[in-house]
Structure 1
Amino acid sequence: MRRHPLAFAQARTIVTKRYTDDHEAVSFDDQTKIGTVMITDYAQKSLGDVVFVELPSEGAVVEKGDVIGAVESVKAASDIYSPVTGTVIAINSELDGSPSLLNKSPEDKGWLCKIEVKDPAEVEVLMTQEEYKAHCES
């Protein structure tokens, strides 16, 4: 009996993280076409202690640049802008009871919403991490 190795088709998922001028970031999964929207660490440091977060509604259709929510802190209030066009498919309901997650983990546990991205090319034109770092330093 001759053995043949089984060939498995492996799909590689690539997650790309890109940044906006307004200090939002999106982590985009090229397989699912879902972007996880968050504020950056730079933004949360600028805001100070976050006390309230307003998020978009699930099912909302948003355009790139639309105001999709707001963050209020002890220092300031700031609008949140959508980095991409698409449909909001999930929101981080943990932020209702724990808005301080934005300070503790803005680019991980403090994510804002997930958007099914209509045009993945919109992600590619956003800033890379290196470009964003240079933007913040200028």
Structure 2
Amino acid sequence: MNVKTLLAASAIALALPMAAQAQGLVRGAEQGARDGGDAAGPVGAIVGGAVGAATGTVGGILGVDDRPRFRSYVRERNVRSYDYDGRVAVGTTLPTSGVTYYDVPDQYRVQPGYRYTVVNDRPVLVDRGHRIVEVID
């Protein structure tokens, strides 16, 4: 059996369970590439990234059907937008002071620990460390 094929198959086998836990396309790809790279080097990173992206697309933090409803929910509450000089993107860590974070209502079935805020007029979900985990566009 070709060594590259064996490495790729091993990377897939190792990355699938980890990638299945990834949430969102970008996070899934990043986590899959990292886990695959740790397990099988560059080939594993390539395979893990693709697998992570595919599974991450399916399991976003806020379901695809809930996104428009959630956007409307935030808009109806006139949540004040925080002016941020940096890029509003997944992975950006927001400050602990000056930003108001809100609990996500249970009706949106978001796992505990995630909150939302509005940054530069864009609703975002953040984790406990105030890192943006999903931009609701």
TM-score range, shorter chain: under 0.3
Q: TM-score, normalised by structure 1?
A: 0.27
With CA pairs under 8 Å and 6+ residues apart, which has the higher RCO, 1 or 2?
1
Whose strand fraction is larger, Structure 1's or Structure 2's? 1
